[in-house]
Structure 1
């Protein structure tokens, strides 16, 4: 495993905080989760996939990427089922049994986190839609040389999809992959490649400012997150396929996120925002219809305003559902210049988003974003 990739995985593991435990759940699990980061399950996953993932990230081999992606998904599904056997929701005869279950459960959860890190890394280097986002962001940030290098790599990936389609056609009934599926994969890769290639970056401006002066948050550079004016394509929500989706992990997460996902409107100012589950199992929010106040502050239709939200807990004492981590988009105010307040677009770390049990039809957004979008007025279910 390369030094960079090891650092990337370690950063995700160290940044992951324990899940929230509701009434009746043992604190033993919460305490053990902080400690159990080198158990047999996570060691198995690292041994089984670490070097292979690093190799595919480096070489961008389509066949290996797709095989590895499917294997990781299957392993995550199996771990999800295994975790149920050691859940903090279960009853245990003795404290010793509870502690042993906590170790097993925490080891499994850490392994699933590692699998998620592998999935993210693979997508950054091989997934056509992710590559399109990265290239658009590089162009938007006035890095044409890096964008050109990544576009060249993307072009080679598209050629691999074309070769895969040609091989499937030639093999006919003997092909291991259906020519119809191979054509769909090629068409999809070609579509995102063309969008990345044809994306016209705006005029480069002075980008010396470090972000929103009123944000109070650290400005984070995100290689593969598109925001602001770049967000012209929204990937399909995995929950849209819930009726024919056999993976219980996705189904479970769609249900857990259900209170947040969907469209919210503002009755005072108008406009709408939509929360969608992403393929990496985080949630993003997009502006559906911008109201006058949004446009005044630089937000417009289709713009991505929240990204990377992770589920922190559900059905707590006070909140129905709440998030952790994530980023919010501070748009550039049209009337401001770089260096002035709201004069520079930036992604900043965001605060917690939650739905109060006492008011389940309203969602609480982070302070600054809530103020800029609706002057603090509530966003309610459509």
Structure 2
């Protein structure tokens, strides 16, 4: 489904599908940090940290930090990024150890799959790529239609389109983007199993599903990963989803791991959002909520000083410290932000430090909703735990 430093049809796709609002990408690059700028060489990539750690999502091995490409066709502010630069960022990520790239047919729609496919063509066999199905998108034109569509025949056709746009013969991890209540999850699993039998899909997962759906899906066809929103700013999965994943041996991929840019420090009490920016309709970023919620940013800043890191790196490292099978997928359209994200791989906490940081994060009960009610109707996730 990260500033973000993102799945995200994602936030803007959710709004477009549910309420007809203008698209706004889920993931954009975080505010450029001094540490990230210092790490970059003259060409913006020379001295970046190298990701050396690997993690497992079920049986699938990936880098400890991935890259979400959702916003590479259009940013929060609805500007169109320079396509060659998006290719360069994806390629630089690979050069610095990122092997996990997240995409979906709904991003664009279709356009971000094309961008990713173009960028990784020369090293496709050395990386893991994801895509997603589930929204009602015209397979030829990319036109987004109302509602969801997980009919087995549509899934198979959607995957054929994704394979063409990604310039590959298989999708390493295929998610159901949102669960279609009109189609039993067992039928969805059967369609994915057929694609696996043909070698077109290697693993499958679910995004923003309910617990009953997850258990039924896993019983029908073992699930490799769940992709839900999760960050210091939204801890909803901690109540039941993450424990269920641990019980079943399923990996967890947080989308929006930097709280759509909030945890990077790029937003303050005076920030107001332009029309079309998804954050403008999320009440957690409303003027009455920001002063309270910014306490989380202060926590990240304080720990950044202690660990000689950046707030971005603290927020990502905190996620990775929760479980060894959690892999965040921050997204960006700026090279400096990519380097900042990659640097989180090197940030570690002692058990005492993690307990202290956890306590500080959980002491702040976030005000406001992550999405409007009519958008949350497309999500099966539960309310966040009380601190």
Is the structural similarity TM-score above 0.5?
no
Q: TM-score, normalised by structure 1?
A: 0.28
**Higher Cα Rg, which structure:** 1
Bigger RCO (CA 8 Å, 6+ sep): 2
